Structure 1
């Protein structure tokens, strides 16, 4: 059967001119909206753009593969989103060995040399002095040394003409001691007046020493309880070990070099415990947050991410505190000198311990995401019931 082919010009909807002649077909000059038209130049540009996009995708995949390979060679990913990771935990084992040697060396120095205890712990003489005119501390110390009063400690009491003088144990005769001190403290054209003289016995010094040791132990115990309640016991143990490291290293340096240890140094160590714990708490808070929100990476990488995110804050905090400590060290006078030295040593040890002790110990204890995710109690879990009634299948 033949198929009749109709001429398009004979269709009813074919356009015609005014004379009735069929209008010639017009060619499309622009590509269709889907990009498939008769415009060869536009189609060529579209094809080139598609090839370029495919090439860029392949190049990006190649770069991603290269980054992933390099990261795996280093033991983990290098970045999460736009945050590049610093592999702090990559050298945790060498740092653990360094920490162990520091603690052992400090304990040996304390056991062999002992602490050079000041008058607050050994007892001695304390006198309140008032001068007619302001005086320098070094001048008073030199005047006392010339009269046989060695190892004197001189501090200002608010004004530069009011001083506190502390001396090693002297004779028990308070009257004779007051006369001798009055003669030794008188300076040319600047007389001294002794308002009060106190003799501190060795028994009082021993009680102060015992109370100081108890206060350090109580502070560490309270920190352990706080961190265990606020975060997790694994983190609490790491924080307390880090605080013990900071304390023992500072005491070890003082014992090794024979620096005087008095109540001002003890106050610096107590302040150091609070500062170091504050820095550790910031790191722990970020660790807990990242364990809850970041998935698909190992606990070691979680710690690296948390330490990287808090690194800028740590640097800024330590820098500002060190500026104050250095100002007290060089401009605070003899009364704040050893206080500043203790803080300076403790700041360095505390910054180090917040990274490589307070963080690495929980990791070694098996810290994981399960330690921070709230688990559903058994009584609140949904019970799954299976119906095996044979009539259901009839």
Structure 2
């Protein structure tokens, strides 16, 4: 029991140089993957048609692809959806000579789903049941891409302003650097593994921003409290002590969150795999960045106790000596 009550005194910043090298390498790798491989944009961004069907018994994916290819749908993406008998077919948008009206779009969409269903029915004993059909126009996908990028940019601007008013501009820079670090690495891994990037992943990235910021703010708050208490200590020692003081809270929060996300990833089904994966990566990277990236940024920017002292107005404590 005595050991449990003792405060940890790990020298985290001892490895700050190594952490900077690791983070830089991961960021370079992520940017390289994003530049060369790109993101595997889902239907929400590329546009196209999504058709979900149910087979009487589990089919071979290769046979499903062959049936579609024989009917002119060679560019279709086929994958299981939950149970082995449930199949999702994603068909990229097709070029048209002129802009269709809403009615003709619905008609062509209905014709397309009928053709796909007929192709899937080939050489199948029993009836292939249509579950749902979703259509996203290319313009809608382009608008969603722009809005997703703007959402992340606005979040970063809001974070900088909020932290600057609550703490000091050096803390704002540290918080934004940590968040950008987390987002770049998370997107880099999505690109490297070619995990489908859709609106649920955008939501997960925004959640990663919130989680990372929350963890960083807790650490910054403790650093701000400790600077006046440890006036004679070096900034490096103050930051190290602050990390140790919030370590138990950070570990408990991260572990409990990861347990839920891992359960979602394993048992949540195909539809939220990308969402859960992005959050798992984001929580791990966010915990790391709050300890090493955010705190190392403060040291690099030369934060000191004088940055957090409130300037007293001249004569504020003076006693009025007038009769």
Gaps of 5+ in 2: 1-5, 97-107
User: In the alignment, which residue of structure 1 is the partner of 2:184?
Assistant: 248
Q: Give the drift of 1:382.
A: 4.6
CA pair 345-196 structure 1, distance change in 2 beyond 3 A: closer
Aligned length: 297
| Cα deviation digits, residues 261-311 of structure 1 (max 9, x gap) | 222221111111111111111111111111122332111111111100111
SS of the counterpart of 1:297? coil
| Cα deviation digits, residues 29-84 of structure 1 (max 9, x gap) | xxxxxxxxxxxxxxxxxxxxxxxxxxxxxxxxxxxxxxxxxxxxxxxxxxxxx645
- Residue 124 of structure 1: which of 29, 48, 61 is its match? 48
Matches within 5 A, 1:8-157: 83-127=7-51, 144-148=64-68, 150-152=76-78
User: In the alignment, which residue of structure 1 is the partner of 2:211?
Assistant: 275
Gaps of 5+ in 1: 1-81, 384-394
After alignment, is 252-261 or 111-120 more displaced?
Answer: 252-261
1:183 has 2:150 as partner? no
- Residue 302 of structure 1: which of 219, 225, 238 is its match? 238
User: In the alignment, which residue of structure 2 is the partner of 1:174?
Assistant: 109
Q: Distance in 2 between matches of 1:197 and 1:171?
A: 18
Tell me which of the two structures has the higher relative contact order, counting C-alpha pairs closer than 8 angstroms and 6 or more residues apart. 2
TM norm structure 1: 0.67
User: In the alignment, which residue of structure 2 is the partner of 1:331?
Assistant: 267
CA pair 254-381 structure 1, distance change in 2 beyond 3 A: same
| Cα deviation digits, residues 178-211 of structure 1 (max 9, x gap) | 222333566755552466553x332222221111
Please, what is the CA RMSD of the aligned residues? Answer: 3.1
Q: Distance in 2 between matches of 1:314 and 1:119?
A: 36
CA pair 141-289 structure 1, distance change in 2 beyond 3 A: farther
Q: Distance in 1 between matches of 2:8 and 2:85?
A: 57
Q: Distance in 2 between matches of 1:319 and 1:248?
A: 23
CA pair 224-201 structure 1, distance change in 2 beyond 3 A: same
CA pair 197-92 structure 1, distance change in 2 beyond 3 A: closer
Q: Give the drift of 1:144.
A: 4.7
Q: Distance in 1 between matches of 2:62 and 2:95?
A: 21
TM norm structure 2: 0.80
